[in-house]
A and B are shown apart, each in its own frame.
With several copies, the nearest count.
Chain A
Amino acid sequence: MNAQTHIKEAGSKTREMSYAEAIRDAMAIALERDPTVVLMGEDIGTYGGAFQVTGDLVDRFGKDRVMDTPISELGGAGVAVGAALTGLKPIYEFQFSDFAALAMEQIVNQAAKLRYMLGGEAAVPVVFRMPSGSGTGAAAQHSQSFEAWFGHVPGLKVVQPSTPAEAKGMLLAALEDPDPVIVFEHKLLYKMKGEVPEGYYTTPIGKAAVVRVGKDVTIVASAIMVHRALEAASKLAAEGIEAEVIDLRTVRPLDRETIIASVKKTGKLLCVYEGVRTLGVGAEISALVAESEAFDYLDAPIQRLGGAEAPIPYNPDLERAAVPQSPDIESVARKLAKGEV
Chain B
Amino acid sequence: MARDAQENLPFAIRHFSPEALKEALRKMHLIRLFEEGAEESYMRGLIHGTMHLSIGQEASAVATCMELTDADKITSTHRGHGHCIAKGADVGRMFAEFFGKETGYCHGRGGSMHIADVKTGNLGANGIVGGGLPIAVGAGLTAKRLGRDDVTVCFFGDGANNEGAFHEALNMASIWKLPVIFVCENNKYGMSTAAAYATAVPNISDRAAAYSMPGVTVDGNDFSAVAEALHIAIARARAGEGPSLVENLTYRWRGHSKSDRNRYRTKDEIEDWMSRDPIQRFRAELIAHGVLDEAGAEAVEAAAKDAVAQGIEFAKAGPAPAITDVTKFVHAEAAA
Interface positions of A (Cβ within 8 A of B): 36, 38, 42-43, 45-48, 50, 52, 64, 68-88, 90, 98-99, 102, 105-106, 109-110, 114-123, 136-142, 154-155, 177-179, 308-311, 313-318, 321-322
Contact (Cβ within 8 A) B131 A72: no
Interface positions of B (Cβ within 8 A of A): 48-50, 73, 75, 97, 100-101, 104-111, 113-114, 116, 118, 123-124, 126-131, 133-143, 145-146, 159-160, 162-165, 167-169, 171-172, 175, 190-193, 197-199, 259-261, 263-264, 320-321, 323-332, 334-335
Identify the 7 closest CB pairs spanning chains A and B, nearest first: A82-B138, A78-B134, A75-B168, A137-B49, A119-B107, A314-B111, A141-B127
Main secondary structure of the interface of B (DSSP, over half): loop
19 inter-chain pairs at a CB distance below 8 angstroms, sorted by A residue, are A47-B260, A50-B191, A68-B198, A70-B172, A71-B162, A72-B164, A75-B167, A75-B169, A79-B141, A81-B135, A98-B128, A106-B134, A115-B330, A120-B107, A121-B116, A141-B126, A313-B326, A314-B111, A321-B326
A46–B193 Cα distance when bound, in Å, is 9
Which listed residue (A105, A179, A313, A317) contacts B128, Cβ 8 A?
A105
The residues of A that contact B172 with a CB separation of less than 8 Å are 69-70, 72, 75-76, 79
With both chains docked as a complex, state the minimum distance between the C-beta of A57 and any C-beta of chain B, in angstroms.
14
With both chains docked as a complex, state the minimum distance between the C-beta of B234 and any C-beta of chain A, in angstroms.
18
Which listed residue (A70, A86, A109, A314) contacts B109, Cβ 8 A?
A314
Contact (Cβ within 8 A) B163 A78: no
Contact (Cβ within 8 A) B110 A82: no
Contact (Cβ within 8 A) A109 B198: no
With both chains docked as a complex, state the minimum distance between the C-beta of B78 and any C-beta of chain A, in angstroms.
9
The residues of A that contact B160 with a CB separation of less than 8 Å are 71
A122–B138 Cα distance when bound, in Å, is 15
The residues of B that contact A309 with a CB separation of less than 8 Å are 327, 330
Contact (Cβ within 8 A) A70 B131: no
The residues of B that contact A179 with a CB separation of less than 8 Å are 331-332, 335
Contact (Cβ within 8 A) A138 B326: no
Residue in chain A with minimal CB distance to B111: A314
The residues of B that contact A142 with a CB separation of less than 8 Å are 113, 127
Contact (Cβ within 8 A) B168 A72: yes
Residue in chain B with minimal CB distance to A88: B142
The residues of B that contact A85 with a CB separation of less than 8 Å are 123, 135, 138-139
Most buried by A among B114, B169, B320, B334: B114
The residues of B that contact A71 with a CB separation of less than 8 Å are 129-130, 159-160, 162-163, 190, 193, 198
With both chains docked as a complex, state the minimum distance between the C-beta of A62 and any C-beta of chain B, in angstroms.
11
With both chains docked as a complex, state the minimum distance between the C-beta of A215 and any C-beta of chain B, in angstroms.
34
Q: A75-B172, A85-B135 are in contact. Are A47 and B192 (CB under 8 A)?
A: yes
Residue in chain B with minimal CB distance to A136: B49
With both chains docked as a complex, state the minimum distance between the C-beta of A76 and any C-beta of chain B, in angstroms.
7
Residue in chain B with minimal CB distance to A84: B138
The residues of A that contact B167 with a CB separation of less than 8 Å are 72, 75
Main secondary structure of the interface of A (DSSP, over half): loop
With both chains docked as a complex, state the minimum distance between the C-beta of B252 and any C-beta of chain A, in angstroms.
15
The residues of B that contact A154 with a CB separation of less than 8 Å are 327, 330
The residues of A that contact B145 with a CB separation of less than 8 Å are 36, 38, 64, 83, 88
With both chains docked as a complex, state the minimum distance between the C-beta of A112 and any C-beta of chain B, in angstroms.
9
The residues of A that contact B111 with a CB separation of less than 8 Å are 137, 139, 314-315
The residues of A that contact B123 with a CB separation of less than 8 Å are 82, 85-86, 122
Q: A68-B193, A79-B137, A82-B134 are in contact. Are A314 and B129 (CB under 8 A)?
A: no
Which listed residue (B106, B139, B335) contacts A314, Cβ 8 A?
B106
A110–B123 Cα distance when bound, in Å, is 12
The residues of A that contact B106 with a CB separation of less than 8 Å are 117-119, 121, 314
Contact (Cβ within 8 A) A86 B73: yes
The residues of B that contact A311 with a CB separation of less than 8 Å are 109, 330
The residues of A that contact B109 with a CB separation of less than 8 Å are 116-119, 139-140, 311, 313-315, 318
With both chains docked as a complex, state the minimum distance between the C-beta of B157 and any C-beta of chain A, in angstroms.
9
Most buried by B among A70, A74, A77: A70
Contact (Cβ within 8 A) A138 B49: yes
Contact (Cβ within 8 A) A78 B133: yes
Contact (Cβ within 8 A) B320 A315: yes
Contact (Cβ within 8 A) A314 B110: yes
Q: A118-B116, A136-B49, A138-B50 are in contact. Are A318 and B326 (CB under 8 A)?
A: yes
Contact (Cβ within 8 A) B113 A139: yes
Q: A72-B163, A122-B118 are in contact. Are A317 and B330 (CB under 8 A)?
A: no
Contact (Cβ within 8 A) B198 A120: no
The residues of A that contact B335 with a CB separation of less than 8 Å are 177-179
A123–B139 Cα distance when bound, in Å, is 13
With both chains docked as a complex, state the minimum distance between the C-beta of A116 and any C-beta of chain B, in angstroms.
5
Residue in chain A with minimal CB distance to B334: A178
Residue in chain B with minimal CB distance to A322: B326
Residue in chain B with minimal CB distance to A317: B323
A93–B209 Cα distance when bound, in Å, is 30
Most buried by B among A52, A87, A309: A87
New contact pairs (15) apart from A118-B124, A314-B97, A315-B108, CB-CB < 8 Å: A50-B191, A79-B172, A110-B131, A115-B332, A118-B114, A119-B104, A120-B107, A122-B124, A123-B332, A136-B50, A140-B110, A141-B113, A309-B330, A315-B100, A318-B100
A98–B100 Cα distance when bound, in Å, is 22
With both chains docked as a complex, state the minimum distance between the C-beta of B156 and any C-beta of chain A, in angstroms.
10
Q: A75-B137, A141-B127 are in contact. Are A310 and B159 (CB under 8 A)?
A: no
Q: A68-B198, A315-B100 are in contact. Are A82 and B135 (CB under 8 A)?
A: yes
